[in-house]
Amino acid sequence: MNHPADERRLSRGYVGVIEEEDGELAFTEPQPLLDQTGPAWKIEGTLRASLEQTSTGWHLEARQEIHPEDFEQLEPLLTWLYQHVDLGMVAPDGSVELARLRWYEDADFRPLVVRDDTIFWP
């Protein structure tokens, strides 16, 4: 099974810094971007993610709460998925709707489209 290369994995790539009550700084380990599970904080329901290889290609299913500042961290994975998508998902213009995003205060989803390795964020 061919997994995404290490640089495609979902790591935030930074160490968090938390100020303790006594003013000291505590450093956290980098956390995977799509590793949230359990009850959602801002949206109803639960958070989860899985990346599986199927008979027609790769399938990513994720329901996460991600801050827009972290969207850039998803781009290598989205580009990799676009390059390995089932050809039946490709529109005549070469684009693929890889995801739907919803701001927690909105009721409607918006498509996240990739075409020619370019991600069009809603």
Q: Over the stretch 38-88, which tens digit does the pLDDT of each residue have?
A: 998 888 889 998 888 888 777 788 888 888 888 888 888 888 888 888 888
Overall number of domains in the chain:
1
Q: What is the mean pLDDT of residues 4-9?
A: 43
Tokens 């989860």 belong to 48
pLDDT of residue 18: 66
Residue type, position 117, single letter: D
Let me know: does 101 contact 109? Beta carbons within 8 Å: yes
* Highest-scoring range by mean pLDDT, 2-11, 50-59, 86-95: 86-95
Domain assignment present for residue 13? The answer is no
pLDDT band at 16 (very low <50, low <70, confident <90, very high): low
Let me know: does 11 contact 4? Beta carbons within 8 Å: no
- Cα 46 vs. chain centroid, distance in angstroms? 16
Give the burial string for 70-92 (b: 16+ CB within 10 Å, else e): eeebbeebbbbbbeebeeeeeee
Say yes or no to pLDDT of 119 above 90: yes
Domain assignment present for residue 24? The answer is no
Domain assignment present for residue 66? The answer is yes
- Global pTM reads 0.68
Q: Would you state the torsion angle of the CA atoms of residues 95, 59, 76, 107, taken in this order, to the nearest 10 degrees?
A: 70
Tell me the C-alpha distance between 89 and 91, whole Å.
6
Domain that holds residue 104: 32-120
Among 93, 88, 91, 97, which residue's Cα sits nearest to residue 120?
A: 97
Tell me the C-alpha distance between 90 and 106, whole Å.
27
Strands 110-115 and 118-120 turn out to be antiparallel
**Mean pLDDT in the chain?**
79
Domain assignment present for residue 12? The answer is no
